[in-house]
Amino acid sequence: MNPGLPQPQRLWAVLTVLAGITAAVLDGSLSNIALPTIARELDVTPAHSMWVVNAYQLTIAVLLLPLASLGERIGYRRIYLVGTLVFMLGSLACALSPSLPLLIAARVFEGIGAAGMMSVSGALVRHIYPPDWLGRGIALNAVVVSVASAAGPTAAALVLSVASWKWLFVLCLPVCLLVLLAGPRALPVTARLDERFDGKSAVLSGLAICLLIVGCDGLGLAATRPLALIELAVAVALGIALVRRELGVAVPLVPVDLFRNREFSLAVGTSLCSFIAQMTAFVALPFLLEYALHRSHYETGLLITPWAVCAAATALAAGRLADRYSSGVLVSLGLGLFAAGLAAAALLAPEASSLDVIWRTALCGIGFGLFQSPNNRAMLGAVPHERAGGASGTQATTRLLGQSLGTALVAVIFNLMPGEGARYALYVAAAVAALGALVSSRRLHPSG
């Protein structure tokens, strides 16, 4: 049994992991706000500037599983620290980029580093904490991700009000430096698998995930939909070929072996549903508030803030509960509340008051926070320690795929229902969250 790290090493290890994840998540949300400024200063179209975000996200999605698998073979600490160094150099390159092509190339390099940190962070948490503290450790990770995501737009707005967009990429450099100084002594040394890294599977996995995300993104527009369907068909074909290849491998890069574990499979299915619902709501809710309820950009931001605040606060409490109570009960309850909040938001009338909006977004945050920590604990805790990298990579990949599918779903709904798209998208998000609660509830019936 893993005893976890002794104090004070445990504290320093936790701070090191959380600092790196903060940098990676914050960097992603900072650049979103800066896109109009970047497009204007580099004299490019808004559509072209989107690749500043897309290049970063696609790189992370493609590399999460391969780097998690590599971490199982050469050590999670090494992957995390090298990833931090690459991320820091990529951030510096972004700040010095004089043109869009160079900025996009730097973002790809930065994404490689972020994938290194994200792919093994869950596995490191699994080795840092003893089993009866694992839920609390995962909760801290979830809180940091929520707070960094919520703080990004505000921090970016403050920086852009006084300085160039280039300074956004400098913000995380001191954090990365601290990780590199503390990490070699603080992070745990983990056992390594005596298996060769499967490069062919890594290429197949990367192509399948890339085509899946790009294809989903293209479904929203009628002009790109035929190509998107072809991309999705090729992604499915590559995925089938990859699974067949991996079934004959003792320790596969894509952890198909872990899906034989019922608890792990149900946690992954639940997570996919929840992140589809989350991103669908995140994209649709601002449109509903601004177009149907006639709120300003500033008011919309404030009205959505209770979601992040309540999610972070609830995740901390849920982490402690997850160490004592069934994940099936906590997750199903959380997603039930999440679905109720989304459905209530879809019912908002044009004359709704700010309080009407706030309690709905707060309920969404409470439900999502109650789901996240117990579900992640169940996913990571269901597998052997030597396969924690595969579970960690799957966790992060599921989140990104769910968010990509959610974005594509909103685009399709908006095209089908131009006038009421945001409202119907929230109804669909509520239905998907309810499906996640149903999937999670299967954990309460061990026999099937």
Q: What are 150-192's pLDDT values in tens digits?
A: 667 667 777 877 888 889 899 889 999 999 999 999 998 887 8
- Report the alpha-carbon distance of residue 397 to residue 377 in Å, rounded: 16
Residue 244 and residue 404 in contact, taking contact as beta carbons nearer than 8 Å:
no
Residues of the chain with pLDDT under 50: none
Identity of the amino acid at 164: S
Question: Tokens 């580093």 label which residue?
Answer: 113
- Report the alpha-carbon distance of residue 19 to residue 21 in Å, rounded: 6
Contacts of 266 (CB under 8 A, 6+ apart): 378, 439, 440, 442, 443
Region label for 129, one of left (φ > 0), alpha (ψ between -120 and 50) or beta (otherwise): beta
What backbone phi and psi angles, to 5 degrees, belong to 237?
-65, -45
Contacts of 286 (CB under 8 A, 6+ apart): 300, 304
- Report the alpha-carbon distance of residue 427 to residue 415 in Å, rounded: 16
Q: Which helix (H) or strand (E) holds 199?
A: helix 199-218
Superfamily of domain 1-195: MFS general substrate transporter like domains (1.20.1250.20)
What backbone phi and psi angles, to 5 degrees, belong to 189?
-85, 125
Which pLDDT value is given to residue 405?
A: 83
- Report the alpha-carbon distance of residue 429 to residue 394 in Å, rounded: 22
Q: What is the value of pTM for the model shown? A: 0.79
Angle, helix 354-381 to helix 327-346, in steps of 10 degrees: 150
Which pLDDT value is given to residue 409?
A: 84
Which pLDDT value is given to residue 93?
A: 95
Which pLDDT value is given to residue 201?
A: 85
Neighbouring C-alpha atoms within 13 Å toward the C-beta of 194: 0
Q: Which helix (H) or strand (E) holds 10?
A: helix 9-41
Statement: 255-448 belongs to CATH 1.20.1250.20: yes
Structure tokens at 428: 């669909």
Which pLDDT value is given to residue 150?
A: 65
Here the contacts of 151-157 (C-beta below 8 Å, separation 24 or greater) are: 151/26, 151/29, 152/25, 152/26, 152/28, 152/29, 152/30, 152/32, 152/33, 153/29, 153/32, 153/33, 153/301, 155/26, 155/30, 156/29, 156/30, 156/31, 156/32, 156/33, 156/34, 157/33
Which pLDDT value is given to residue 332?
A: 92
